[in-house]
Amino acid sequence: MSVLVYLIPAALLFGLASLAAFLWALKSGQYEDLDGAGERILIDSERLAASGNGDPKHS
């Protein structure tokens, strides 16, 4: 039972730290463009290099 004296506060601190990290990620815009990373992998980088344009939005 004496182990719970250490484990419960440790679990609460870990939970609060996780919540703070999640809220920071929300405020910094980490979840704004969820589809962008999945679509960027489909862009043909050889075609972009041949055209000399490194910006995929202007292809």
Per residue of the chain (59 residues), give pLDDT as tens.
Answer: 899 999 999 999 999 999 999 999 999 988 888 888 788 888 877 666 666 665 555 54
Q: For residue 12, is it within any domain? A: yes
Predicted pLDDT of residue 56: 55
Predicted pLDDT of residue 55: 58
Query: Counting Cβ atoms within 10 Å, is residue 48 exposed (0-12), middle (13-18) or buried (19+)?
Result: middle
- Read off the amino acid at residue 15: G
pTM score of the predicted model: 0.56
Q: For residue 59, is it within any domain? A: no
59: Cβ contacts below 8 Å, ≥ 6 apart:
43, 47, 48, 51, 53
6 phi/psi in degrees, rounded to 5: -95, -35
Encoded tokens for 32:
């704004």
Q: For residue 20, is it within any domain? A: yes
Given a contact cutoff of 8 angstroms between Cβ atoms, the answer to whether 36 and 42 are in contact is: no
Range of the domain at 21: 4-52
Report how many domains make up the chain.
Answer: 1
